Structure 1
């Protein structure tokens, strides 16, 4: 049987090697942004190398001729979590101003599917990638920004100041007089949740009573039932959805919030204000996170390396779910 497998994809790195220039120079030329920045001779050499190698022009290059919007892909763990809808909205608004569109890829909290999805995007038409809590496959090179990851993996990072968020929550509970504080943590493996757990242990002098929960109200409720057996008087949750599960567990057990149990969430999702009582939570600018991530990617696409790490501030929104023990 004949080998019908596709030939290796020619990348901008291959073009750069053939032309004897940097990858950023290739990006400038093929995105139409070389005028005044790259000599005509160098631009001609890049275009000749691309033609010789059969490099397929990306969406950005086609858009210069047709007016069709360029595109980037946003890869998120779980689109059913309303937080990611806000991130998408922020990225879209920033992208539209720059003439781009954002394509959403949902991995459904499945790391195997994440790897397959990213591989497909690398072979597809997207100019660049916004990777929320995910990574590029080993050995690949692409215009990409990581969101809510830690620096040191070779890609620029945009993330929330989760250390400050944990500090705000713990300081608030300690000031109220709580000494038995639990942690309802995410069961999704991601550096941001590892960082929250480590920060709590650091602030409390050791790991607190902890349960891991999925990002569903019912799943978080089942995990929180075990937490209530630990005798804690307050809990910090990695997400408002997990906090909602704590509310359900407390209702089933006849535990009053905040009289018997104080609860703090993270993200300040819209429903946090309509819980009974309204939820104290670490407020973040999810739309701003998406916008800044796209702006970093746009810089990278233009050949201007963004900062290795950009950290966005957070704040504690105190409502009626916390009180002295």
Structure 2
């Protein structure tokens, strides 16, 4: 097998490692491409191509995280990861577990870890690399990596997100919820929301948003009904899609340009949270991006 063929076979794994570490589709793709350039330029044949490339992409991500911390601190408003429609790494036996590890809630927990803890957790707990491989990737001893793994696991377990375990029930409720949203029915919407439901938006200061996080079934239902009325009146489209391994939707204007995404968290037969990304810089990988300011103005006039 040629170098290029080996790399293409491992690309889904490399992207999945990088995305979990960085929370950015674009930065993850850049790290994967750079790992290919380094692999292609390497004069020696590694004992394990998988371990070599995983180590390279991990080191690249650690470098990116150094500057990402500063950018996160300066970010305007709520920060969410870039929405991911499909994780290219496939393992049918661990599909649910892998989906949970790219959920918005899980990625926000990973943000609390140090870069090294984050790298060790992703390699060990998500992708089951052994400690000598992890040690090579992060430049620490295997013993130190074990300690990092214990600390990271403890932090993650403290706030580990809980999701609906019955996939069919979850998807059915999400479909009912999106149908109620399209209808703009406050009563039906409120009946599907948990009492302490919250909705938050990430605009990065580059798109309109409704300010702080809104909490409570009544408040959220009224907001959603108002959004639905105006958005539907101007020909807006709501496409049900899986976002970050959970039920969600992509909102598009009448011309098919992306306005925003929803990631919907469901537990106990109710919607617990809606995380929406409006920042146009985080939506370009999904297709042409709409002018959200213009969409909101037109929707308000139509409402």
TM beyond 0.5 = no
TM-score w.r.t. the length of structure 2 is 0.25
Q: Which has the higher helix share?
A: 2
Rg larger in 1 or in 2?
Answer: 1
TM-score (norm 1): 0.24
